Structure 1
Amino acid sequence: MKITVACIGRAGRAKHDAAQSLLEDYRARLPWPVTIREVEDRRQGGNAADRKAREGALLLAAVPKGAVIVALDEKGRSLSSRQFAETLAGWRDGGEQEVAFLIGGADGHDAAVLDRARLTLSLSAMTWPHLLARMLLLEQLYRAWSLQAGHPYHRD
C-alpha cells in the first residue's frame, strides 16, 4: 500500500527539529512507501472561508489519482489503533492501493475536502501542531502495519 500525506505548510521550513527527526524515523520503519507533499497557499489575505477553499484545492490537487482520501480533522471519527489498522487492512484487501491523508491549515478543511474524504479521522480531541500531527499519523501507520504483520511493536 502506498501512503501520501498532503499537508498545508511552508516550503523551506527548518528540517532539523526533534519532531521532524521522529517523523523520518517512523517513515523509514514503514515498509509502505510514504510521500509527504507539503503545499503552500502563497496568496495572502482573505477570510477563513477563502483560505480554506484555496487550501482545499491545493490539497485535493496533491492527491494521487484513485487514492482513498482521509481528512484529518478534530471533529472526525476517533478510532483505536486496532480499528485504524483494521480499516487500512480492509481497504488493502478490497483492492485499494493508495491512501492519502490530508492535513488542513489552521482554519480546518474546506467542505470540498470533507465531501471527497472516505473517512474523516481525529487523532485526538486536542489540536496538535501540524508537524506533530504528521508524526502522530506516521507512528499510527507504523503501529497499524505492526498489528497487521504480527510484529511485537504493538502489545495488547
Structure 2
Amino acid sequence: MKLPRFLAPLLLIAVLAVGAALAYRSLLVKPQAPSVDYVLLDGSKLNSAQWAGKVTLVNFWATSCSTCVHEMPQIVATHEKFKARGYDTLAVAMSYDPPAFVASFAESRKLPFGVAIDNTGSVAQAFGKVQLTPTTFLINKRGEIVKKYVGEPDFNALHALVEQLLAES
C-alpha cells in the first residue's frame, strides 16, 4: 500500500514533535541527590536520608580555598535566614583539608550548621567527583538536585530560589 504524498511529511513532523517533547521533558527531570553517609566534627554519624522534606544546601569547601573562606559568611547568613522554615546546610570539607584546620575554622567562625570532613573523598565522589572548591548543590524537599554552583553563588538569586523551593509542597 502506497501512502499519499502529503502523508509522509505529516508523519515526519509528528515524529519530530514527539522527539522534541521527549527531549524537553528530559530537561525538566532533576537528578536525585546521592545517598551518602558522613561524620560531623562532633563525631555524629549521619546520612543524607535526613534531608528528606527539607531544602538543603551542600557546600564542598576547603580552608585553603580563598573563595570558600570569602563566601562562608554568606552561607551562614543564608542558613540563619531560612533555617526556621525547613532549610538546612551541610559544609563538606574536602579530603585533603587537615581535620584540625577544619575544626579550628568551624569553631572560630561559630558555623551554625553541620560540618563534615570527607576523609575518604566518598561524599565528593558520590556528588559527581567534586574536585573544585567551592562547589555547592541545592537540593529540594524531594531530594532532587535543583542547582549546582561551581564558585561563589549569586546569593540574591540563591535566596530567591530557596524561597521558591520552600514554598513547594
Query: Same fold judged by TM-score > 0.5?
Result: no
Relative contact order, higher structure (CA 8 A, sep 6+) = 1
TM-score by structure 2 length?
0.28
